[in-house]
Structure 1
Amino acid sequence: MKRKEGFIMNMYHLQQLHHHQPMTKMDSMRKRERNKSMVEKERLHVMDLSGMALDSLPKPSLDFATICKLDLSNNNLQDIPESLTARLLNVEVLDVRSNQLKSLPNSIGCLSKLKVLNVSGNFIEFLPKTIENCRALEELNANFNKLSKLPDTIGFELINLKKLSVNSNKLVFLPSSTSHLTSLKVLDARLNCLRALPEDLENLINLETLNVSQNFQYLETLPYSVGLLLSLVDLDVSYNKIKTLPESIGCLKNLKKLSVEGNPLVCPPMEVVEQGLHVVMEFMQHKINSSDQHPTTKKRWWMVKMVKCGVRSGKRREHEGYNMLKQQRMNGFASPGFMGMLSPLRLFSSPRHPRHSRHSIG
């Protein structure tokens, strides 16, 4: 019994010694950094100047570096001084929606901590190229402006962008670099003048919502790579001039909502569309499996791309193309031997698509 008590006491003393070990140099540095961060956070504050009918910004005796959120929305501002933006070193949210702005200052590129930028409801015709330096940006709202284009390389730099809203503008194209926004979850480009989407969409591996509706007489086709948007849940292409949906849509296993009303659709025919999403998906899968035995060069290229996408997304189980290429037994509509190992049958044949609850598609 005494031995047991002595053992317990020794363990207690060891624990006490462990808790009272002298702080190492590394521990001390970490503690100082934590304290410094806490002090800086306490110093930061929100400045709300919204809805004050301001024509110009006041000049308060304030250290702009202490602002984490600046709300200038619902005023009459026609410009934002370069000098002001350059001093907002710690701002994370900048809201200038519903003003009279025609442009943004180039110094916006100095906002290295900016996460949310709302410039909607202005008269902005272009975004400065320096916006690409805002690499912490997660949400960009530029709805209801006069944008005719976006910076060409915007997708190469804004690697943390999760939501891009550019609806109700005059965009004719989205830059090809848009397809490199790998963190993007929402892309809203409705009510523009889009004539086409970027061909290479497969890098948008996290995209859940794509809305390119109401481009009316301009948008006539969708790229085959739409079928590589493996996280896509909601696809809205309504009120365009689309006659044929790409067959690859049949590969979107996570799709829950497809809006196609207001298009002169021929394929899939309206009698298929009216039966709901699951029927449309089965129809498109059937088209993949019953493709012509002599595919075009374009279709061959697309099939190879699907396989490559499977290799790059090996951990994504919902991308069945690559796994089927290796192991799935043939169970479809096409004849055996179609394109050898790149056969759509081998790639996409699977047990019938699970029937979702009926969705309103038209």
Structure 2
Amino acid sequence: MGGAACKEEVKEEKRSSSREDSLTSADRIRRYTVKQFGYNVLSLSRRGLKDVPDELWELQELDKLNLSLNSLKVLPPQLSLLSNLVVLNLWGNQLGSLPAEIGQLTRLRVLFAYRNRLTEVPEELGACTQLEVLSLANNQLTSLPASLSNLTRLRKLNLSHNQVAHIPGCVYNMKALVFLHLAYNRLENLAENIQALVELKILIVEGNSLHSLPKALCCLTRLELLNLDFNDIKDVPQVTDDDDDDGNSTSPGNYTSPGNHTSPGNHTSPGNSTSPGNSTSPGNHTSPGNHTSPGNSISPGNHTSPGNHTSPGNHISPGNHTSPGN
């Protein structure tokens, strides 16, 4: 009886092996895809990949792709074949550049490319006009191409821990921005153009070389958190009676600016953001080291879906979000 059972197990193993052999390489990868809230999601995170498997480009049904925490140095032009991608997660690799073909991902809403080795961003990225969340933190960027002015739906931009000396001009055309993270760059001033970002709720410029602030900051009446820690600011702009005639201008006394916030670790703000993947909504951030370092504010972990972000730090990440409208 036991011998018969053993033979049956051997036969089953052979059948399984035969089925495995009959699968194409693409099918083997496809088996790791999951359906979440109507999206086709594939995570190849932490696989030690030095190159993207060629078979991946056959999975043109993918909506969300996670290639984070590998050892990728190059993304091939075939990336454009995944034209249905809504979320692309590339953080924690060794990418020196992004392919120009990324501009053909016209449905893309979320792009994580932080903690790589990027020295520039392709101007073709400006064709991804559906983008809502873009994180390029912890790279070696000095600027952004003018074509990114087309990203008029972008709500959250993280450029922290780069080598930016002046806020790129294209940023001022991103009129939908509610979250702008520029900490630990080389900024010496903020241009008056900052007043164009009328929807801005969170502005983080800690760890730069700012000496003064533009009066235009007083025009950002939706601002809830302004983090200016670790700069060299001597004074803050004052709102005069003429400026405040309509009663709508907000004075620096309402900002989280030097002298108006608590010490690092106790920011009074939109922010109780904590560690990566645990950021909460605007109004809950804490201080430097607790809130918005790259990977804490715009990072995979507890994000929601395109069109339904809860806050900086609750954005989309493969495998842990909800669908648009939910």
Q: TM-score range by the shorter chain?
A: 0.5 to 0.7
2:126 alignment partner, SS class: helix
Query: Aligned equivalents of 1:173 and 1:124: distance in 2?
Result: 18
Q: Specify which of 72, 92, 97 is matched with residue 91 of structure 2.
A: 97
Query: Aligned equivalents of 2:44 and 2:213: distance in 1?
Result: 43
TM-score, normalised via structure 1 length = 0.57
Query: Aligned equivalents of 2:184 and 2:38: distance in 1?
Result: 42
The answer to whether the Cα contact below 8 Å between 1:234 and 1:255 also exists between their aligned partners in 2 is no
Considering fraction of residues, name the structure with more helix: 1
Deviation at residue 236 of structure 1 after TM alignment: 0.8
CA RMSD of aligned residues (A): 2.7
- Choose 102-111 or 56-65, whichever is displaced more: 56-65
The answer to whether the Cα contact below 8 Å between 1:46 and 1:68 also exists between their aligned partners in 2 is yes
The answer to whether the Cα contact below 8 Å between 2:238 and 2:252 also exists between their aligned partners in 1 is no
Deviation at residue 71 of structure 1 after TM alignment: 0.3
Give the structure 1 partner of residue 213 of structure 2. 222
Q: Specify which of 125, 130, 136 is matched with residue 136 of structure 1.
A: 130
Q: Specify which of 164, 181, 197 is matched with residue 204 of structure 1.
A: 197
Give the structure 2 partner of residue 87 of structure 1. 81
1:223 is aligned with what amino acid? Answer: P
1:137 is aligned with what amino acid? Answer: L
1:178 alignment partner, SS class: helix
Q: Specify which of 126, 146, 154 is matched with residue 152 of structure 1.
A: 146
1:65 is aligned with what amino acid? Answer: Q
Query: Aligned equivalents of 1:186 and 1:255: distance in 2?
Result: 20
Query: Aligned equivalents of 2:70 and 2:156: distance in 1?
Result: 25
1:209 is aligned with what amino acid? Answer: I
1:196 alignment partner, SS class: coil
Deviation at residue 42 of structure 1 after TM alignment: 9.4
**Where does the alignment leave 5 or more consecutive residues of structure 2 unmatched?**
1-35, 262-266, 269-326
Query: Aligned equivalents of 1:104 and 1:255: distance in 2?
Result: 42
The answer to whether the Cα contact below 8 Å between 1:71 and 1:95 also exists between their aligned partners in 2 is yes
2:41 alignment partner, SS class: strand
Give the structure 2 partner of residue 114 of structure 1. 108
2:45 alignment partner, SS class: coil
2:128 is aligned with what amino acid? Answer: C
2:88 alignment partner, SS class: strand
Give the structure 2 partner of residue 185 of structure 1. 178
1:86 alignment partner, SS class: helix
Q: Specify which of 44, 47, 51 is matched with residue 46 of structure 2.
A: 51
Query: Aligned equivalents of 2:186 and 2:226: distance in 1?
Result: 18
Query: Aligned equivalents of 1:101 and 1:62: distance in 2?
Result: 18
Query: Aligned equivalents of 2:175 and 2:211: distance in 1?
Result: 26
2:134 alignment partner, SS class: strand
Taking every aligned residue pair, what percent have the same amino acid on both sides? 30
Larger RCO, structures 1/2 (Cα 8 Å, 6+ apart): 2
Deviation at residue 257 of structure 1 after TM alignment: 4.9
Count of matched residue pairs: 221
CA offset digits 1:243-278 (Å, max 9, x no partner): 1211149832798551426xxxxxx9x9xxxxx99x
Query: Aligned equivalents of 2:170 and 2:205: distance in 1?
Result: 17
2:256 is aligned with what amino acid? Answer: L
Cα 1:260–1:115 shift into 2, 3 Å = same
**Where does the alignment leave 5 or more consecutive residues of structure 1 unmatched?**
1-40, 262-267, 271-275, 278-362
Pair 1:127 & 2:121 matched: yes
1:184 is aligned with what amino acid? Answer: L
Give the structure 1 partner of residue 258 of structure 2. 260
Deviation at residue 121 of structure 1 after TM alignment: 0.6
Query: Aligned equivalents of 2:135 and 2:169: distance in 1?
Result: 19
The answer to whether the Cα contact below 8 Å between 1:153 and 1:175 also exists between their aligned partners in 2 is no
Deviation at residue 195 of structure 1 after TM alignment: 1.9
2:102 alignment partner, SS class: helix
CA offset digits 1:203-244 (Å, max 9, x no partner): 2111000011111xx221222211111110111111111112
Query: Aligned equivalents of 2:253 and 2:152: distance in 1?
Result: 25
Give the structure 2 partner of residue 233 of structure 1. 224
Query: Aligned equivalents of 2:205 and 2:230: distance in 1?
Result: 9
Query: Aligned equivalents of 1:42 and 1:206: distance in 2?
Result: 29
Cα 1:62–1:258 shift into 2, 3 Å = closer
The answer to whether the Cα contact below 8 Å between 2:146 and 2:169 also exists between their aligned partners in 1 is yes
